[in-house]
Amino acid sequence: MERIQQALEQFKQSKNTLRRKESVPPTDTESIPHPLVYTQTKAVELSASDLAARRVLQGSNGGPFEEAYKILRTQILHRLREQHWNVIGVTSPGRQEGKTLVAVNLSISMAMEANHTVILVDGNLRSPRVHELLGLENRGLADFLLENIPISDLLIHPQIDRLVVMPAGGPLRNSVESLTLSKMTSLVEEMKHRYASRVVVFDLPPLLDTADVIGFAPQLDAVLLVVEEGRTTEQDVTRALSILDGKVPMLGTVLNKAGKYSGGVSA
């Protein structure tokens, strides 16, 4: 594991001047009513016991990993404010390294911070999992892109204040082609600029399995890379960082299942 951390540190040191992208800064706290009232977005009550079994945070109800995600949230929000970013992708080198759980819990944690609203989009059109973790129907992004279903019919408010979720729909074989449609570009622009206080989080496929992340990279302000202790190899980290190099800025890395807390995170 020390080799993985060394590879990450070397990459950070050599790429500390990554290009910046212009976007609307997510810092306008005046536009956020407290609490928010969702009149058009479908509200769904989640099962607390199912969320706990899947290690998903439950708003402000606490839990063994809440503080770890608060630390990660704070670090990421500081970087977003500094760079005027608000659209991020969460990915990993390979499969089953915990990236979807990190994307979901990070989104919930950020929504708990009163100065932001969050929309979590499952962009893993080939192998969607956000709906499974939250216990939602799998209608979403693919239905909008290919079936012209209105966005308003696909967004879900999981009764966590300031959080809205769009599942992936699908699965689709031609996922990268769908993510690079002009319709998708327009959707991201709408999400990005509609509210200055909004953070958009895309759960994306693994970097080394498909071309989806690279195809979608121009729509992102930055990427968060999730690696798993005991699973991710040094070679996979090096390959993943090489793929991202020069295409999209790195927000940082998350070491999933770090230390003695199974399912924990370390930024």
CATH number, domain of 160, equals 3.40.50.300
Q: Comparing C-alpha atoms, which of 164, 90, 163 is closest to residue 123?
A: 90
In a domain, 191, yes or no: yes
What is this structure's pTM? Answer: 0.84
Query: Which pLDDT does position 91 carry in this prediction?
Result: 97
Give the domain extent around 170. Answer: 2-12+41-89+106-266
- Kindly report, residue by residue over 20-64, the tens digit of the pLDDT: 333 334 334 334 434 444 456 888 988 989 998 999 998 666 566
In a domain, 29, yes or no: no
Count of the separate structural domains present in the chain: 1
In a domain, 166, yes or no: yes
Q: H or E stretch including 266? A: strand 265-266
Tell me the C-alpha distance between 237 and 63, whole Å. Answer: 30
Asked whether the beta carbons of 165 and 136 are under 8 A apart, the reply is yes
Classified as helix, coil or strand, 19 is: coil
In a domain, 243, yes or no: yes
In a domain, 132, yes or no: yes
Place of tokens 């100065």: 115
Q: Comparing C-alpha atoms, which of 163, 120, 158, 157 is closest to residue 141?
A: 120
Tell me the C-alpha distance between 238 and 7, whole Å. Answer: 7
Query: Which pLDDT does position 62 carry in this prediction?
Result: 58
pLDDT tops 90 at residue 229: no
pLDDT tops 80 at residue 165: yes
Least confident stretch, 13-22, 76-85, 146-155, 220-229: 13-22
Query: Which regions of 167-212 does DSSP assign to beta strands (E)?
Result: 198-203
In a domain, 124, yes or no: yes
In a domain, 208, yes or no: yes
For residue 243, name the pLDDT band (cuts at 50, 70, 90). very high
Query: Which pLDDT does position 188 carry in this prediction?
Result: 97
In a domain, 115, yes or no: yes
Query: Which pLDDT does position 161 carry in this prediction?
Result: 86
- Kindly report, residue by residue over 175-223, the tens digit of the pLDDT: 999 999 999 999 999 999 988 789 999 999 999 989 999 999 999 999 9
For residue 127, name the pLDDT band (cuts at 50, 70, 90). very high
Look at the chain and count its residues: 267
Distances (CA, A) of 52 to 59, 80, 88, 260: 12, 29, 26, 18
How high does pLDDT run on average in the chain? 84
